[in-house]
Amino acid sequence: MEAEASSFETSEMLARFLGSTPMLTESWNLCARSNVMAPQGFLIHEVGGVTYVAFSGIQSLDGLDPSCGNLVPLSAATAVASTVYDGGDGEMFSALRNQGDENILLVDAGLLQLFLTIYRTPVFQNQMFEIKKKQKPVVFTGHSIGGAIAALSSLWLLSYYQSISSPPSVICFTYGSPLIGNEPLSRAIHRQRWGGNFCHVVSKFDLMPRLLFAPLAPITTHLHTVLKSWHLTMSSPFLIRDLGVQLADHEKSELFHFVLHYVDVAARSHALGSDSYVPFGNFAFCSSDGAVCIDDTIAVVRMLHLTFASGSPSSSVNDHLEYESYVEKMSLRFLNRDDDELCESNTYEAGVTLASQLISTDHMHRPIKDCLRVARRIGPSPNRNSAELAIRLSKIAPLRAQIEWYKASCDKSDDHHGYYDSFKLRSVSKRDFKVFINRIKLGDFWNEVIDMLEKNQLPHDFPKRAKWVYASQSYKLLVEPLDIAEYYRTCEHLKRGHYLKHGRERRYEIIDKWWRERDIHGENDNNKCGKNRSKFASVTQDSCFWAKVEEARSWVEGVKCASDHRGLTGLWANIEKFEQYSRGMEERKEVSMDVFAKNSSYMRLMEDLRDLKLQLPYFSPQIPGVLDRKVLP
């Protein structure tokens, strides 16, 4: 088999792309202009059909916001955001927050507040409305603190686009930006496959990208002095500057070594906690000699430490203002560099050696080389993993076939229970046990697929590949009814609550998302050309149909037992919604024939409802609107 491409070679390609694409220079040029022309604001410019939005690095004239350095829940954004300018987006960052992560997603309080201040302005809302209306690619960018606002803006728009099929590209370039959030936030971003949308350009000595590893209170005075000096230069780039005048050498040394200590602690930590700042996305470490790109979180933290440690107190301050030079040299370096070495020895070691030479000093060459070696992807490449999963998918096909055979036999059974109720009421038999085990094995397989995807071990477009979208959907439609049957068979609903809210496995929610976002060239399989099915489906097209039946049964029982008319009104309203839903499923023939089995839960529910409607005169005095059919259809 052909040897796997090393992760360095992929990073080298990304670095070359950054050096040659106009997006890098265009985004930096607009960043520099925003620093001069739009302090505490942003600029927008369109080039070649791409909209660039650059946030000024000068967002606070008095230094850092006092709340910077403190992490707060991302949900605070929804509480603070103005409903006037919500623009119909619903909850902000909902795609990140709706993942069921047991840890809280945290972001920097001060940076979040700066983003929300801009977000609430009519100017920003109007510009974003135009961007969303055009449906064209957008690049958010920013230097310094502006980079953090650009990152939050990108996360907001990516989250908004989750509800849109075939959304336009959203890319984020930051230059010398501080980190914005904790490890659960980083993990959530990578789960959404958004890591590749972010490129953080970091000069090897710059203080700002490392700053939030350290507590800010002890260095507040030094930081205010440095920020004022930076802001003066950023807003007046043509002035001759001498940054050393405002901070004495010993003060710069104190600041440098204080931050370096905490970066060192983070780099040595084996696990990054939920209460510490963690990077996400791609990091392009640059110097006057070139750049190398890394996307592994642990390796990024180590590189932030090693490159910073190779600098000096003065360079840690001065380097924050050198990005224009680095961007220019990156472009020239990658366009003009001799490729003979890489072409002659296209190996992982050659790549590591070349990269470490670009961004390290002599005494740090070995540690940085070791760090780049650690960043190498462990195990096969994503494409190879995908190919091996395809083989495994074919090998588990017999498990699915046995469940399909079980369904067919249940549909023909003389007890007329149907597929769902036969499994729910099953006896101890070899056939039923086999289906029970197959259900678990198939669930384990899809859990593993999703786990590999979230660990970036599968191709970026994996969830959009037709083979996997349709295979996962077919699995869900066939097997989830069995999971629902097991949930109610074991009375889990009495312990935890109904299945839809309290029992549904996360894999089904993710498969739902793949199905909603599938790219099938504008076709809609559920209703092609506006035509309904000519016959009933082989499997019910809503895998949660039986969970909704079970909830409806509990509402009917509630009506029989309830005495409070307000409670009865709510129960009747729920029953009415279910009847509308099930009637629509029947009319569109999106249910399978087992639903209509004589002794199925659905048919028994319909019988109970008919009996209940015969008692309407009893309920009418308690519930206004029953007799004139305002409550019950």
Residues with a known catalytic role: 144, 206, 320
Other beta carbons within 10 Å of 533: 14
| Of 62, 65, 58, 60, nearest in space to 35 by CA | 58
How distant, in Å, are the alpha carbons of 199, 304, 429, 598 from that of 139? 11, 25, 60, 58
**What phi-psi label fits residue 171: left (phi over 0), alpha (psi between -120 and 50 degrees) or beta?**
beta
Q: CA 603, CA 608: separation in Å to the nearest integer? A: 9
Backbone angles phi, psi at 55, to 5 degrees: -100, 135
Radius of gyration of the chain (CA): 29
> Do 63 and 50 contact (CB within 8 A), yes or no?
no
Token pair of 550, please? 């079970």
Strand 106-108 to 138-143 pairing: unpaired
Q: How many residues does the chain have?
A: 633
Residue carrying the six token digits 């949660």: 544
Q: CA 287, CA 327: separation in Å to the nearest integer? A: 9
| Of 126, 122, 107, 116, nearest in space to 59 by CA | 116
Helix locations, 198-310, DSSP H: 220-235, 249-268, 297-309
End-to-end CA distance of the chain: 65
**CA angle at 122 for the pair 118 and 125, rounded to the nearest 5°:** 75
Q: CA 232, CA 214: separation in Å to the nearest integer? A: 25
Q: CA 167, CA 171: separation in Å to the nearest integer? A: 12
Token pair of 516, please? 């909603």
Any idea what DSSP says for residue 621?
T
| Of 515, 550, 539, 523, nearest in space to 589 by CA | 539
Q: Which residues are 284's β-sheet partners?
A: 201, 293
Q: How many helices (H) and strands (E) does the chain have?
A: 28, 9
Strand 138-143 to 50-55 pairing: parallel
Q: CA 474, CA 476: separation in Å to the nearest integer? A: 5
Strand 50-55 to 42-47 pairing: antiparallel
